[in-house]
Amino acid sequence: MQRIIIETPDSLSAILVGARWEAVTKLLPQGDVVIVTDANLFNLYGNRFPRFPVLKLKPGEDSKKLPVIQKLTTEMLRLGFDRTVFILAIGGGVVCDVAGFLASVYMRGVRCGYISTSLLAQVDASTGGKTGVNLGRIKNVIGTFRQPEFVICDTTMLRTLPDTEYMSGLAELIKTGLIGDRSIIDILENNQAAVLGRDRELLTDLVARSVRFKASVVAKDEKEGGIRRILNFGHTFGHAIELHQSVPHGFAVAAGMEIAARFSLEKKYIGVKVYDRIIRLLRQYGFHGEFKVTPRRVRELISHDKKKSGDMISFVFLKGIGKAEVKKLPVDEIVGFYSNFRDL
Ligand SMILES: NC(=O)c1ccc[n+]([C@@H]2O[C@H](COP(=O)([O-])OP(=O)(O)OC[C@H]3O[C@@H](n4cnc5c(N)ncnc54)[C@H](O)[C@@H]3O)[C@@H](O)[C@H]2O)c1
């Protein structure tokens, strides 16, 4: 088990990678605890949950909305919870984003911790303290920064994850490798069978590398004023693709990374060899970018992007494998590049 600490000016979050999820009972405080999960996780693991009231979400992105927060709040009041309650999230990125948001607003804030159950949540969504819900189709536009006290990443839970969701998480793992830890890329290139076979030890190692990198970035810039923006690599186009083509988050990010890599090549920040290596890895893991979203729609969707200010947007480029840099660009240039890219 690896214990990685994320330290920010007013919080300490312990990420326990490779710990058994049942050990959560040792981390919970005395007193009231409420579990937030989704119906899939409850069906698979509910009979082994610690004995506390359970609030169940409908699985999927559609649960990330304010009416769900209202419903959960009503239910918590009905159960008589005051501000000493501890919220334990058991689930993927959706459950963690919703439960974390609920924890930061219920009676102006209560304590929380997560058992992170999807690969995407373990390598990315459950660490770093971002919480949030969507407004209509605008992603994560209502949210907070709130560090959970602990996150358990038990990689044995990934065995029950559906294949598409597993692949979606691999895309975020590739992202971390490309922007910050090239050893992840080497491991993915050379251990395809073990990665696809969900080898527990290998996954624990990969998740720990990813969390360690994210922790180092978040410790420097919790509220995304600067360096943390590199974690959005692939997400400018990825979010547009996710909304337009309704593909799982990671697949959209993989397509967004392909476009961003091509843009980096065109800007001469990376050479052809590096670019080819990135595309080869994406293909190796079955990411064949499909770019159905039109430039006009990209412009519309980018207009809601949190990384935009005025007519400029912060865009994450690669400077090599394991190295990224954020540059401010006019939205016109990004849309123009995308038009040409689609015509290639
Ligand atoms: N807060 C952040 O920093 C951050 C970062 C990246 C992504 N996200 C968000 O994360 C969300 C995506 O997360 P996700 O891909 O985990 O989605 P998810 O939570 O919807 O989980 C995907 C599916 O897998 C199922 N599942 C999860 N764990 C399982 C397991 N162990 N066994 C069987 N089934 C399991 C879920 O029930 C669901 O049907 C998006 O909303 C995205 O915006 C947040």
**Residue 276 sits in a domain of what CATH number?**
1.20.1090.10
pLDDT at 291 (0 to 100): 85
How is residue 84 written in tokens? 């000493």
Residue 278, domain member (yes or no): yes
| CATH at 9 | 3.40.50.1970
Of all protein residues, whose CA lies closest to atom 9 belonging to ligand 1? 93
- Say how many Å lie between the CA of residue 225 and the centre of ligand 1: 25
Instruction: Look up 232 and say whether it is catalytic.
Output: yes
- Say how many Å lie between the CA of residue 126 and the centre of ligand 1: 9
Task: Tell me: do 14 and 154 sit in the same domain.
Answer: yes
Closest ligand 1 atom, CA of 169? 15
- Say how many Å lie between the CA of residue 250 and the centre of ligand 1: 10
pLDDT at 310 (0 to 100): 83
Task: Tell me: do 225 and 261 sit in the same domain.
Answer: yes
User: CA-based angle 189:193:196, to the nearest 5?
Assistant: 95
| Centroid of chain to Cα 231 | 9
Note the pLDDT tens digit of each residue in 305-331. 777 788 899 999 999 999 999 999 999
Task: Tell me: do 225 and 149 sit in the same domain.
Answer: no
pLDDT at 303 (0 to 100): 79
Percent of residues, the chain, with pLDDT higher than 70:
100
Number of structural domains in the chain: 2
Residue 57, domain member (yes or no): yes
Residue 203, domain member (yes or no): no
Residue 187, domain member (yes or no): yes
Task: Tell me: do 258 and 144 sit in the same domain.
Answer: no
- Say how many Å lie between the CA of residue 43 and the centre of ligand 1: 16
Of all protein residues, whose CA lies closest to atom 35 belonging to ligand 1? 161
Catalytic residue of the set 64, 232, 262, 307: 232
| Centroid of chain to Cα 179 | 15
pLDDT at 101 (0 to 100): 98
Catalytic residue of the set 40, 56, 64, 130: 130
Q: Which residues line ligand 1 (CB under 6 A)?
A: 38, 40-41, 44, 59-61, 64, 91-95, 97, 117-118, 120-121, 124-125, 128, 130, 139-140, 157, 160-161, 165, 168, 249
- Say how many Å lie between the CA of residue 121 and the centre of ligand 1: 6
Closest by Cα among 246, 9, 253 to 125: 253
Of all protein residues, whose CA lies closest to atom 6 belonging to ligand 1? 125
Residue 79, domain member (yes or no): yes
Q: Which of 145, 161, 177 represents a domain boundary (last residue)?
A: 161
**CB-based contact 7:65 (threshold 8 Å):** no
Task: Tell me: do 319 and 283 sit in the same domain.
Answer: yes
Domain that holds residue 12: 2-161
Residue 328 backbone phi and psi in degrees, to 5? -90, 130
Instruction: Look up 249 and say whether it is catalytic.
Output: yes
Residue identified by tokens 């304590």 is 111
DSSP code of residue 65? B
Residue 206, domain member (yes or no): no
Task: Tell me: do 168 and 98 sit in the same domain.
Answer: no
Residues of the chain falling short of pLDDT 70: 344
Task: Tell me: do 156 and 168 sit in the same domain.
Answer: no
Instruction: Look up 283 and say whether it is catalytic.
Output: no
Catalytic residue of the set 249, 258, 262, 307: 249
User: Is beta strand 312-320 parallel, antiparallel or unpaired with respect to 323-330?
Assistant: antiparallel
Residue 212, domain member (yes or no): no
pLDDT at 283 (0 to 100): 97
Task: Tell me: do 118 and 190 sit in the same domain.
Answer: no
Task: Tell me: do 334 and 227 sit in the same domain.
Answer: yes
Task: Tell me: do 8 and 95 sit in the same domain.
Answer: yes
Q: How far is it, in rounded angstroms, from Cα 146 to Cα 36?
A: 16
pLDDT at 334 (0 to 100): 93
Task: Tell me: do 121 and 183 sit in the same domain.
Answer: no
Task: Tell me: do 172 and 306 sit in the same domain.
Answer: yes
How is residue 331 written in tokens? 């939205």
How is residue 271 written in tokens? 């050479």
Residue 46, domain member (yes or no): yes
Residue among 64, 102, 120 to mutate when testing ligand 1 (max atoms within 8 A of CB): 120
